[in-house]
Structure 1
């Protein structure tokens, strides 16, 4: 079982972990150290147990906030999925505008009259 030397709040600790978990332990230690450094910068030197407790509580508070954000995001994703599923199941009806029959009939009548007039003009011109 590997032993890892970590530094938190300017103090060193030797911690054992499972093989292959060293990276995760170091990452967690960096997060705890960042919080401890804030405390040390604000308050100054304090007992080790109090520093670790306060830094741990600060991390827990951040984690709780992130969990709330995650839960809200998951709820929005569920709602979005329901909307998408409903849209697929009940697609919106889209109507394409069609020229009304009366308009096409009117155009056909106008065209027929124009052709008749053209035919009369040709007759008169040829006579």
Structure 2
């Protein structure tokens, strides 16, 4: 147990407190002294009454702060909603990364096929005429759809962040 000397209302008081709480008790004593000083010329000759008035003023301020603060349940609910939103955004981000990886793979495949065609690396008998290949248009449409999906997801991510 420790003792702290407080100067409140021009008088010194010795107060007992737990070890390590000295600075906290001193700060509280300073708050009470500040409230007494706010009373100014309204101080009476009785220390107990003056301390009571200062304590009532402090209690009133504390009560006002408590009434103005959100309830613990409301704060927990708001935090839970934020956590859910963060989790939803993380999942959307992962989905966008998967879609982007698929689009990159498709682009790489198409790029390799195009490079092979340009270089003439495929056998002439199997090299399709670029304009007559029936698989080319659907492949290009899939590629365009993938690119559009990626762009939309990236734009929506940027809009939410």
TM-score range, shorter chain: 0.5 to 0.7
Structure 2 partner of 1:112: none
Superposed CA offset, 1:25-80 (max 9, x none) = 101101111101111x1413431111111100100011111112222697367347
SS of the equivalent of 1:57 reads helix
RMSD, matched Cα: 2.8
1:43-122 matches, within 5 Å, as 43-71=42-70, 75=74, 78-79=77-78, 81-82=80-81, 85=84
Structure 1 residues 34 and 86 mapped into 2: Cα distance closer, same or farther (>3 Å)? same
Whole-angstrom CA distance in 1 between matches of 2:86 and 2:19: 50
Structure 1 residues 53 and 85 mapped into 2: Cα distance closer, same or farther (>3 Å)? same
SS of the equivalent of 2:70 reads helix
* Structure of larger gyration radius: 1
**TM-score (norm: length of structure 2):** 0.46
Count of residue pairs brought into register by the alignment: 90
In structure 2, the gaps of 5 or more residues are 93-161
